[in-house]
Chain A
Amino acid sequence: MRVARRRFLRGLGAAGLAGGAGALASQGRSGARAAAVPGHGGHGGMGAHGGLGAVGTVDHARNGFTPRQLLTEFDTGAISKDASGRTVREYELFAVNKEIEVAPGVFFPAWTYNNRVPGPSIRATEGDRVRVHFTNGTGHLHTIHFHGIHPAGMDGVPGAGEVGPGETFIYDFIAEPFGTHLYHCHSAPLLDHIHRGLYGAFIVDPKGGRPDANEMIMVMNAFDTNFDGENEVYALNTIAFAYAQEPIAIERGRLQRAHVINITEFDPLNSIHLHANFFHVYRTGTKLVPDDFTDVISMIQAERHMIEFTYQHTGQFMFHAHQTEFVELGWMSFFEVS
């Protein structure tokens, strides 16, 4: 109420009726804002790009998650063994509506799994029994549709595991095949349910494991903040320019493994390009030997690949979509190799 009254006074002030009220108007948030991406000198690398970048910083505490968490945290579930000795992993997921700051000062009315976009990076080993307890805390119907091999009743589509407001469903299946997968809501209208943020990584490790590496989740997503059918924000893991403002610190000579997943809505393709380096591509992560050695790869929606690389030099290295429009709208990141 007080805010509303003050706003009214501000209006009067602007109309020249109340000089005192005009002073009110100049209070509040003020002060010129400097350029966004820290860039001059050591940290962040966008100084060379002049004024490109968002202004200000995202309040990650208010979002409830940090870009680093999205990049490196996995949910391996609560582990037990069934009678046959098979590993059983239980996961808790819930759908909840939440406003997320997707670029500094820009708030998007997201639909989330577990209060974050992308949702938890669910991880299991090939052959594990996966049990995902899904509770819908929103007013809409939702599902979790896993990319993988499972029975029809566990597909997470309307008529098979669609969950009404306040209800719970358990998706129960065996994790296969191994690879870099994803899950997303499959309720109608599908475009809304995906674009609003209901998706996440689903990583299935091969039984024999993989060589030790620094593992990262990279979900290429975008947000149509004004709901006109075109994206205003492109990002790696939701926050525009997040890893440009705070480069990802990695070690020289250490094997890096990234699970790169495209869930971009409205644009048919997204891509990833590493500067000053090449990477091995494991298409959909379903093989133990690489399919390709390159420095750029494109993906349609839901296409995903595991990439592995090692930096031989230290310093700051850009990586980004090789669609320049996406780069300049937020999908721009840096590695800080030490």
Chain B
Amino acid sequence: MAVRAQQRGGLSTALIALLPAAIIVVLVGLFLAFNPIASLREVPPVEAVAFEQTVLTPNRIELRIRNDGPDEVTIAQVLVNDAYWAHTIGDPTLGRLETTTVAIPYPWDDGLPLSIALLTSTGVTITHDVEVAALTPRTDARTIGIYVLLGLYIGVIPVAVGLFWLPALRRASDRWLGFFLAFTLGLLAFLLIDAFAEGLEFAAQTAAVLDGLLLFAISALAAAMALVALGDRLGRETGSAGQPRALTGLALAYFIAAGIGLHNLGEGLAVGAALAAGEVALGTFLVLGFAIHNTTEGLAIVAPIRSKAARPALWHFVALGALAGAPTIAGALAGGFTLSPAWSAVAFGIATGTIAQVIWAVGRSAGRDGALRSSFGLLGFLGGLLFMYATGLLAG
């Protein structure tokens, strides 16, 4: 009897909880039926279109566009470099958030700027500038190969090389160990700022209606919280009396590798997208710069496992290197072929959240060692920041 009464109580609780939702549904229905603010909208429509992807193939421009304004938009004409031009478009009328593709047969010139304007039915022009027109990479084996190679060069190899600092670290004195841990922190702080700035940049390019800034922020918070939860679980397993301990050793190394890996995913996205959009030339310096820049990341990963007691098996090093470096390849491919700015904002959001949490974890670990308080520690932190800045200049 008691059980049944309780069940009934649970059911009615659920019903009561649903009541506000039901009221909302009714109110929405009433609003749609009578639309009391319709009379306020006798103003010209607000027309906005976001350009999500531009694909340039020989004698052809293809644009993926999204209506990111509050009102319907009808694309009436397309102008290329101030000339009305033939084009095909799926449904020229785009409802809110709808996307379509505009294909323009146009003899564009390699290496020169292109200005494409959509002229809407109300005479509004929405312009998209291609800074330097270049062939969009095709998804063939050769191009994919180039992107994979690029990812290897700027991500995987440098990080793996950096891991070889471990023997040197192991011979270093405690003071130098503190220095390198602090160096790692400085390096991570640099990556945090970098990921944050990149994320904001992509957020700004994201279709307004998708709110890139919130996408970025939510991704960052979600990533940080997920890592906090994971860290707590790992800490609890190793800790005593249910009190989560600061992460140390191999677990911390994995955390750092994960954070760096996600940053490199974003970095790969940025490089891939920039290449695809023809915004940067694939110069030797870019590749070399990123390579040197990222070598330092290997050092950061092995810093927590420099103690002579910890002797991880060799496969751990392979795993750490892959975790930190391989995402660059995935990022370069994704950025080069498909992704819209919204996804890049999400990727950099995840990287930002992850790195922030990793800094927290490394900081706790280093703080416990007292490594940061020394002048060596401070110099190390600054050194990490400056080293990343200086090597970043090479890639700039």
Contact = CB atoms under 8 A, between A and B. Distances in A.
Interface of A: 1, 4-5, 7-8, 10-11, 14-15, 25-26, 28-30, 32-36, 50-56, 102-108, 223, 225-228, 232, 240-241, 325, 328-330
A26 B104 CA distance: 21
A55 B87 CA distance: 7
Given A55-B78, A325-B82, A328-B84, 15 more contacts: A1-B35, A14-B96, A14-B98, A15-B97, A25-B91, A36-B84, A50-B105, A51-B87, A54-B84, A105-B121, A106-B77, A106-B120, A226-B124, A232-B123, A328-B82
Given A53-B84, A55-B87, A325-B82, A105 B77 contact: yes
A329 B120 CA distance: 15
Contact of B123 (A1, A34, A226): A226
A328 B86 contact: no
15 contacts: A11-B97, A14-B97, A28-B93, A32-B89, A36-B86, A50-B105, A50-B107, A51-B85, A51-B87, A52-B85, A52-B86, A102-B123, A103-B84, A107-B122, A226-B123
A32 B88 contact: yes
B96 A232 contact: no
Contacts of A330: 84
Contact of A11 (B96, B105, B120): B96
Nearest to B123: A225
Contacts of A26: 91
Interface in B16-68: 32, 35, 38
Contacts of A30: 90-91
Contacts of B92: 29, 33, 105
A35 B85 CA distance: 8
A103 B38 CA distance: 30
A24 to B, nearest CB: 9
B88 A7 contact: no
What 5 A-B pairs come out closest when comparing CB atoms? A225-B123, A105-B76, A328-B83, A35-B86, A51-B86
B106 interface: yes
B84 A33 contact: no
Contacts of B194: none
A225 B91 contact: no
A104 B76 contact: yes
Interface string B95-109: 111110000111100
B72 interface: yes
Contacts of B120: 106
Contacts of B86: 34-36, 50-53, 55
Interface of B: 32, 35, 38, 72, 74, 76-79, 82-93, 95-99, 104-107, 119-125
Given A30-B90, A55-B78, A108 B123 contact: yes
A7 B72 contact: yes
A223 B91 CA distance: 26
Contacts of A228: 125
B67 to A, nearest CB: 9
A329 B84 contact: yes
A107 B45 CA distance: 13
A158 B32 CA distance: 48
Contacts of B84: 36, 52-55, 103, 240-241, 328-330
Contact of A51 (B72, B74, B77, B104): B104
Nearest to A240: B84
B116 to A, nearest CB: 13
Nearest to B87: A55
B104 A106 contact: no
Contacts of A54: 77, 84
Given A14-B96, A14-B97, A55-B86, A8 B32 contact: yes
Contacts of A29: 74, 91-93
A63 to B, nearest CB: 14
A1 B32 CA distance: 8
A197 to B, nearest CB: 13
A25 B105 CA distance: 26
A7 B95 contact: yes
A35 B90 CA distance: 14
A5 to B, nearest CB: 6
Contacts of A4: 35, 38
Nearest to A224: B123
A10 B100 CA distance: 14
A328 B96 CA distance: 31
Contacts of B119: 103, 106, 225, 232
Contacts of A226: 123-125
Nearest to B34: A1
A104 B105 contact: no
B88 A33 contact: yes
Nearest to A105: B76
Contacts of B98: 10, 14, 25
Name the residue in B84, B88, B99 with the highest tally of chain A Cβ atoms < 10 Å from its Cβ: B84
B76 A232 contact: no
A10 B96 contact: yes
A108 to B, nearest CB: 6
A329 B85 CA distance: 9
Contacts of A50: 86, 105, 107
A50 B86 CA distance: 8
B107 A232 contact: no
A14 B87 CA distance: 24
Nearest to B120: A106
Contacts of A55: 77-78, 84, 86-87
A33 B77 CA distance: 11
A333 B121 CA distance: 23
Contact of A7 (B76, B83, B85, B96): B96
A53 B104 CA distance: 12
Contact of A103 (B76, B85, B88): B76
B43 to A, nearest CB: 13
B239 to A, nearest CB: 43
Contacts of A33: 87-89, 92
B225 to A, nearest CB: 25
Nearest to A53: B84
